[in-house]
Chains A and B, each alone.
Chain A
């Protein structure tokens, strides 16, 4: 139990509580349940993307193309919606997931089969995906009035007092908690990133595991692409520009080790919520929204310093008194 309290997640929960307390002290309206639910809903896309990114980072990779994938998939489904307005939303969702999956697989195949460093692959695909949006649209926007009503309404529809967008985020947290802790693939992500050499001996194909991580990240980014453009009812080249860094920030703040092998879905959720609360609180407490970039940058640095301190190994355990086991 003491172990749980000392964990990163517990520390972060305390930090979030303190953050909320400080905001509530000056602006009590911020912490009323309805507003907190609104903040959660607003943070849902970040939560979704952070889960995907966490899985990728677990395998010692990084996916900088998530925001570009989101923008491209969002544009593709918007264009489909214009072309076939009558297409039921369920198909739009499936197309979004499928298309995002393909983009993720493209990253994954380059990492797996050609062993190109993930940062290079995703820096490259990041610009390529955004460029493709431009080629598709010649830089034009798809606006609210061009989208069908059902296309726009689904994420905002209330279900038991919460918009569907929030429910999707909650479902993803539950689903991926189970996947990561209770399935062979989930544990393989940890093994492949924690000790790739040993993973090979244990019969885990490290490259293939990384491929699946990118695929999952792509699928989530695709789904979020639809949710994003329908929620804001607009699609253009620079949708979610630079958002990949916020996603990485959420992971790092959530205790995901960039060296791989360490991280939890719950941590990613908390990291995203931390940033989401700050983003929503800034206008309330009268701090310019322009300061958000610096704050998330500062948060990344503080988080990575704290992570490193927590994960610093004291050395090999040789002396009897140093060993934990009884």
Chain B
């Protein structure tokens, strides 16, 4: 065994550029055996690029990767695996149609006679790893029959199935419940004891201080600090992350709630959510909090008409309304800013103005014929209200930054003059400057009498913005809290399903 003061895996001045973006510039990280290194940074700071570089998905443009001090290259994910680097990726990188055991061992299944896959050995190996995680999953189950949390455990098992020296965990706790997170911590401690080096990516500070030994902070693709966790405070980490002192400030606003605009009763879906009901008033910001995969987005999409609930009624301004498609929802004044901006929110290969006017073409056209001048006028009006930064209105949305893309999506909906706007993770993946602008704008909309539903997994955002919060867990409403009762502790305990008061 190598002494623990020599890193097993290092990045030395690694640079990675994409057209128009420098994702990493000369970053260095050292991972030591038996130590957990936390990688901290805002969305877009380059954390995922590091993961992909270390696992052979991206090739660095400059600098080098070193294993035991020797420069190596990872031209394929396989080669990284062979060097003992394995990762639990943030996105689900699993196969719905394959069995749990195959998902765990795909690409490195145990071979028996004639080089054929030894199915029995594979199931046995899978069972051992799953048992080690305390997961009660049969290795023969087809993956698509599992829920979100169990799929995540399979993903973790997959990473552990490789005899790894370095384990990378990219936000491994996002979809896990409280008890499962504790089990994961135990697992990490076990891996440490075995002398494995761990790169732990998270933006939850309690986690980082609970399990990390070292930290590395990224900002805008650059390494801005590292050291031992024992020598740093949470405030210092945040300051490094953001580059300035930030006590996240949320806009102050008058809360003048108007009459009820939306009432939802008894919304049910066979697998996604059950018995969802609430009311919403003009000028109100209603937060929806929960763990990833709690069914919040799924319910919102049913409300917006993209999926069909099996039961439930909606009243808008007191009148019962049926919403069968997004087109129905929009015509009744309900609009939805989705979390998946690139796929659902914007049409990235179309110009900005066409994105903005898409749901409003009836207003900007005459008898079905386009009037480009009207379109530019409408697009200009709303994009300027949101202070959009773009070279021109016929630039493709895909070439904009995340924050500006979000502004285009919001502008598109404001141009329809809606009654209710649903914002699903409105500040996910956008820089801190745009974040504040989105918050400010949300407050402004509410002040103008728009009813806002904000789905968010970020506790400060929920606490700072909401007039009322609904907490969902496993597809159901776990609690509804008024403004004065909202606190981070209460949110977490309801979302994770801890009934007794937290310490």
Contacts and interface: CB of A to CB of B under 8 A. Distances in A.
A183 B117 contact: yes
Contacts of A262: 97
A194 B148 contact: no
B116 A203 contact: no
A205 B77 CA distance: 9
Q: Which 8 A-B pairs have the closest CB atoms?
A: A324-B145, A203-B77, A198-B93, A322-B271, A203-B78, A201-B93, A182-B116, A318-B475
B109 interface: yes
B181 to A, nearest CB: 18
Contact of B95 (A181, A261, A323): A261
B294 A318 contact: yes
A308 interface: no
Contacts of A191: 95, 98, 106
Category for how many chain B residues contact A: 35 or more
Q: Provide the main secondary structure of the chain B interface.
A: loop
A296 B145 CA distance: 33
Contacts of A317: 145-148, 271
B96 A201 contact: no
A191 B117 CA distance: 15
A80 to B, nearest CB: 34
A146 to B, nearest CB: 42
A319 B271 contact: yes
A306 interface: no
A145 interface: no
Interface in A169-208: 178, 181-184, 187-188, 190-191, 194-195, 197-205
Given A191-B98, A194-B95, A322-B270, A182 B150 contact: no
A201 B106 contact: no
A194 B96 CA distance: 7
A202 B57 CA distance: 10
B284 to A, nearest CB: 26
B272 A318 contact: yes
Contacts, number: 125
A200 B95 contact: no
Contact of A318 (B116, B137, B295): B295
B188 to A, nearest CB: 21
Contacts of A183: 115-117
5 contacts: A198-B94, A201-B57, A201-B77, A316-B272, A317-B148
A326 interface: yes
A161 interface: no
Interface in B213-261: none
B102 interface: yes
Contacts of B146: 317, 323-325
Contacts of B95: 190-191, 194-195, 198-199, 261
Contacts of A316: 148, 271-272, 293, 295, 298
A288 interface: no
Contacts of B272: 315-316, 318-319
A325 B109 contact: no
A181 to B, nearest CB: 8
B243 to A, nearest CB: 31
A313 interface: yes
Interface residues of A, number: 35
Interface string B78-96: 1001000000010111111
A204 B274 CA distance: 39
A33 interface: no
A211 B192 CA distance: 42
Interface string A298-326: 00000000000000011111111011111
Interface in B109-144: 109, 115-117, 119, 136-138, 141, 144
B493 interface: no
A318 B293 contact: yes
B390 to A, nearest CB: 29
B269 interface: yes
B474 A318 contact: yes
Contacts of A203: 56, 76-78, 81, 107
B382 interface: no
A320 B298 contact: no
A325 B138 contact: yes
A134 B96 CA distance: 46
B270 A314 contact: yes
A6 to B, nearest CB: 13
B273 interface: yes
B43 interface: no
Nearest to B142: A324
B148 A318 contact: yes
A323 B116 contact: no
A326 B140 CA distance: 12
A227 B313 CA distance: 64
Contacts of A320: 147, 474-475
A198 to B, nearest CB: 4
A324 B109 CA distance: 25
Contact of B271 (A187, A190, A198, A314): A314
B73 interface: no
B116 A190 contact: no
B475 A319 contact: yes
Contacts of A205: 76
